[in-house]
């Protein structure tokens, strides 16, 4: 039987041939009866167990925290720690491999991936999963460091240098930009001037031989550290509508990376999608560009790109798409005196594939909108439907008057949500808290968000009711686990959004509202909570890793279902997951369970339930 050991399952798939031979030579087969204790709490396990047949329950007191199925292994951490914090009990007759402590230590010492999968934290396990079996995932171009690309050496000029001299420098050195030093400013600052700025210089009244380059340079540079990823450089360029990012370590400028350098590294051609959106002459052309976004997501996911980065790229592409559609439909005066917002998962940058619409419109106070505003907004809603965004079942769309109004009207709504706090108010509050500006004047949104922070952060009762939604769908406890791991067709599936993603999003959203944090994405909120000391760094990292794991699992299911009709709620079937995915599911669901308990304590939810 040891010769039949399955080396295709995690973590043993990472072993080299000589390591596999070691396992075959030393592994034993053990048998346990139903209800027999395999590892007791506080006991020192003698071996790593790999299930062949049967199920094992991991117990915390009288509660089941996980169920292990065939091909799963346990308990590597207890083996290394010298004691187990849980009890492992056979739920039925169990047949398992047992690999002794000394052999496991030897494998860990010689194989970093095996060690990471067996013993390391959630982040290391997710990284190892991204690497497993496919070198192309390790080489995924969006994950490459920016300093791996060709950085253009910085060329400096003073801010009083004439534009004519800079133009000669462009020609002589065959460069397209210079960095402009303004040492007279207090403090000194650094800007950039490029060939795309020359037309503006030409139309000025001052001769180019006299015009100081500092008058046309762009100061306040967008910078990245050299270890940041290529995909982040692309995201920064899209967000700021620039073609160059400065790579710097502290105050030392290492070079400049241009958009063409980034594009040459990327295989998803997202820059072409942006270009087509920007140049689209019609809604039909936008529809074609939007279809390419889905293919981009498929390719990025297949290449092993971090799901959080995919979300940020999609958010930037979609923002440009919404902006272009709005520019096509709304008159310029309306665009200039309003702010088009997207909300929900789109606002958080966590909507990877098109689902339904979540948008609204904020108007300047004192501005009189066009008489046909309702018709304009309805055309925009219809255009998004044509592009591929179905209407929102809850009516959260600009075509619904309840989701548009002046700054003062929106502020009044926000105060009403906070004052009344009924079920619908809390839903609307959560939706609007995620609002992100995509067109027009973003300051209008900031004014309304300011009302939320001013009136919401100290309302303990409202905050508790708002946070209570974190617990709305219950826990993945013993009953759930039993049904998830039931044999044959009797088992249930795990609704990923309700049971896993939503508790993290809503719990973090509640903590962010309590702290007056203005960030809209869940990851940015977590980082802000860590900076404020509300969350420990380890907790923040685990929540981010868990969120991205669940988003990845959901995306995998949604991509598999493309073409079969409207996207349904993604539900994970644990019997189709790999042993590594089941191991990660155990860890991440445990993090969700502990996070919900933390939210319960923080907002004293037992007092209102």
600-605, Cβ contacts within 8 angstroms, sequence gap of 24 or more = 600/471, 602/467, 602/511, 603/463, 603/464, 603/467, 603/468, 603/510, 603/514, 604/464, 605/464, 605/467, 605/468, 605/471
Q: Specify the pLDDT at position 277.
A: 86
The helix or strand, by DSSP H or E, that contains position 431, with its residue range, turns out to be helix 423-433
The pLDDT confidence band at residue 4, using thresholds 50, 70 and 90, is: confident
Does residue 13 carry a pLDDT above 60?
yes
Per-residue pLDDT of 254-299, as tens digits, reads 999 988 777 655 544 566 677 778 878 889 889 888 888 888 888 7
Q: Specify the pLDDT at position 565.
A: 66
Sign of the CA dihedral 36, 41, 44, 46?
positive
Q: Specify the pLDDT at position 133.
A: 38
Q: Specify the pLDDT at position 524.
A: 95
374-377, Cβ contacts within 8 angstroms, sequence gap of 24 or more = 374/399, 374/401, 376/329, 376/330, 376/331, 376/334, 377/404
The pLDDT confidence band at residue 440, using thresholds 50, 70 and 90, is: very high
Q: Specify the pLDDT at position 138.
A: 37
Q: What is the 3-state secondary structure (H, E, C) of 227-270?
A: CCEHHHHHHHHHHHCCCEEEEEECCEEEEEEEHHHHHHHCCCCH
In degrees, rounded to 5, the angle at the alpha carbon of residue 122 between the alpha carbons of residues 119 and 125 is 65
Question: 561 with 306: CB under 8 angstroms?
Answer: no
Question: 122 with 587: CB under 8 angstroms?
Answer: yes
Could you tell me which residue, 131 or 345, shows the higher pLDDT?
A: 345
Does residue 179 carry a pLDDT above 70?
yes
The helix or strand, by DSSP H or E, that contains position 179, with its residue range, turns out to be strand 177-182
- What is the arithmetic mean of pLDDT over 99-116? 90
Does residue 358 carry a pLDDT above 50?
yes
DSSP state of 220: S
The helix or strand, by DSSP H or E, that contains position 271, with its residue range, turns out to be helix 270-279
Question: 19 with 38: CB under 8 angstroms?
Answer: no
- What is the arithmetic mean of pLDDT over 167-191? 91
b or e along 575-603 (b: 16 or more beta carbons within 10 Å of the residue's beta carbon)?
eebebbbbbbbbbbbbbbbebbeebbebb
Residue 225's φ and ψ, nearest 5 degrees, are -80, 155
Alpha helices in 15-74 (DSSP H): 17-26
Does residue 150 carry a pLDDT above 70?
no
- What is the arithmetic mean of pLDDT over 434-450? 95
Sign of the CA dihedral 353, 354, 355, 359?
positive
Q: Specify the pLDDT at position 608.
A: 67
Q: Can you tell me the distance from the alpha carbon of 348 to that of 446, in angstroms, rounded to the nearest whole number?
A: 15
Q: Can you tell me the distance from the alpha carbon of 591 to that of 599, in angstroms, rounded to the nearest whole number?
A: 12
Is 177 in a helix, a strand, or coil? strand
- What is the arithmetic mean of pLDDT over 309-330? 92
The pLDDT confidence band at residue 99, using thresholds 50, 70 and 90, is: very high
Count of alpha carbons within 13 angstroms of residue 399, beta-carbon side: 17
Does residue 559 carry a pLDDT above 70?
yes
Burial classification of residue 106, based on how many CB atoms lie within 10 Å of its CB (0-12 exposed, 13-18 middle, 19 or more buried): middle
Per-residue pLDDT of 568-601, as tens digits, reads 678 888 888 888 888 888 889 989 999 999 999 9
Question: 407 with 391: CB under 8 angstroms?
Answer: no
Average pLDDT of every residue of the chain: 87
In degrees, rounded to 5, the angle at the alpha carbon of residue 520 between the alpha carbons of residues 449 and 365 is 25
Per-residue pLDDT of 45-87, as tens digits, reads 989 999 999 999 999 888 888 889 898 999 888 888 889 989 9
Q: Specify the pLDDT at position 609.
A: 58
Per-residue pLDDT of 361-411, as tens digits, reads 999 999 999 999 999 999 999 999 999 899 999 999 999 999 999 999 999
Per-residue pLDDT of 454-506, as tens digits, reads 887 778 888 999 999 999 887 766 667 777 777 666 678 889 999 999 999 99
Q: Which of 313, 348, 354 is nearest to 140 (CA)?
A: 313
The pLDDT confidence band at residue 142, using thresholds 50, 70 and 90, is: low
Q: Which of 469-473, 483-487, 508-512, 548-552 has the lowest mean pLDDT?
A: 483-487
Question: 277 with 286: CB under 8 angstroms?
Answer: yes
Is 144 in a helix, a strand, or coil? coil
Q: Which of 75, 68, 17, 18 is nearest to 45 (CA)?
A: 75
Bridge-based pairing state of the strands 47-53 and 73-74 = antiparallel
The pLDDT confidence band at residue 135, using thresholds 50, 70 and 90, is: very low
Q: Specify the pLDDT at position 19.
A: 94
Instruction: Tell the residue number behind the tokens 């990823």, with chain if given.
Output: 229
Instruction: Tell the residue number behind the tokens 């020359």, with chain if given.
Output: 198
């Amino acid at each position: 039987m040891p010769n039949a050991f399955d080396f295709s399952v995690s973590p043993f798939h990472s072993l080299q041939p000589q390591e596999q031979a070691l396992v075959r030579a030393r592994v034993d087969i053990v048998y346990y009866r139903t209800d027999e204790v395999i590892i007791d709490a506080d006991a020192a396990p003698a071996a790593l167990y790999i299930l062949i047949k049967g199920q094992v329950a991991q117990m915390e007191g009288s509660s089941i925290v996980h169920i292990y199925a065939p091909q799963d292994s346990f308990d590597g951490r207890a083996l290394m720690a010298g004691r187990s914090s849980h009890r492992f009990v056979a739920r039925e007759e169990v047949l398992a491999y047992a690999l002794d402590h000394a052999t496991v230590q030897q494998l860990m010492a010689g194989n970093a991936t095996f060690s990471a999968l067996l013993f390391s934290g959630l982040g290391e396990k997710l990284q190892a999963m991204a690497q497993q079996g496919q070198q192309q995932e390790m080489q995924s171009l969006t994950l490459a460091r920016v300093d791996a690309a060709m950085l253009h050496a910085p060329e400096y000029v003073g801010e009083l240098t004439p534009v004519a001299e800079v133009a000669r420098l462009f020609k002589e050195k065959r460069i397209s930009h210079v960095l402009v030093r303004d040492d007279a400013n207090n403090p000194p600052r650094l800007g950039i001037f490029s060939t795309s700025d020359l037309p503006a210089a030409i139309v000025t009244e001052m001769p180019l031989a006299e015009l100081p380059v500092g008058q046309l340079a762009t100061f306040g540079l967008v910078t990245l550290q050299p270890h940041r990823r290529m995909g982040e450089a692309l995201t920064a360029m899209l967000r700021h509508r620039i073609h160059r990012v400065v790579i710097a370590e502290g105050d030392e400028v290492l070079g400049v990376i241009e958009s063409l350098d980034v594009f040459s590294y990327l295989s998803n051609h997202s820059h072409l999608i942006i270009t087509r959106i920007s140049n689209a002459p019609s809604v039909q052309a936008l529809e074609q560009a939007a279809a390419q976004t889905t293919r981009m997501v498929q390719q990025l996911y297949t290449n092993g790109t971090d799901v959080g980065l995919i979300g940020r790229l999609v958010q930037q592409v979609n923002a440009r798409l919404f902006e272009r559609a709005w520019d096509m439909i709304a008159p310029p005066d309306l665009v200039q005196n309003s702010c088009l917002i997207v909300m929900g998962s789109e606002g958080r940058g966590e909507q990877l594939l098109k689902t339904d619409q979540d948008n609204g419109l904020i108007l300047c106070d004192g501005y009189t909108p066009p008489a046909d505003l309702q018709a304009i907004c309805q055309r925009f809603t219809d255009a998004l439907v044509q592009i591929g965004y179905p209407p929102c079942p809850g009516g959260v769309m600009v075509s619904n008057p309840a989701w548009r109004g002046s700054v003062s009207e929106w502020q009044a709504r926000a105060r009403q949500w906070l004052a009344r706090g009924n079920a619908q108010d809390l839903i609307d509050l959560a939706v609007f808290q995620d609002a992100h500006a995509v067109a027009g004047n973003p300051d209008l949104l900031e004014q309304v968000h300011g009302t939320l922070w001013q009136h919401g952060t100290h309302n303990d009762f409202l905050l508790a009711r708002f946070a209570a939604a974190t617990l709305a769908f219950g826990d993945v406890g013993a009953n759930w686990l039993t049904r998830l791991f039931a044999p044959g067709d009797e088992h249930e599936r795990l609704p990923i959004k309700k049971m896993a993603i939503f508790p993290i999003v809503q719990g973090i959203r509640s903590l962010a509202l309590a702290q007056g944090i203005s960030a809209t994405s869940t990851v940015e909120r977590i980082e802000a909570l860590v900076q404020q000391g509300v969350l420990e760094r380890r907790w923040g990292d685990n929540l981010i890793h868990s969120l991205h794991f669940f988003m990845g699992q959901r995306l995998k299911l949604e991509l598999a279902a493309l073409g079969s009709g409207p996207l349904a709620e993604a539900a994970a079937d644990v019997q189709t997951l790999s042993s590594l995915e089941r191991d990660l599911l155990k860890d991440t669901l445990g993090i969700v369970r502990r996070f919900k308990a933390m939210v319960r304590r923080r907002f004293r939810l037992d007092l209102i339930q």
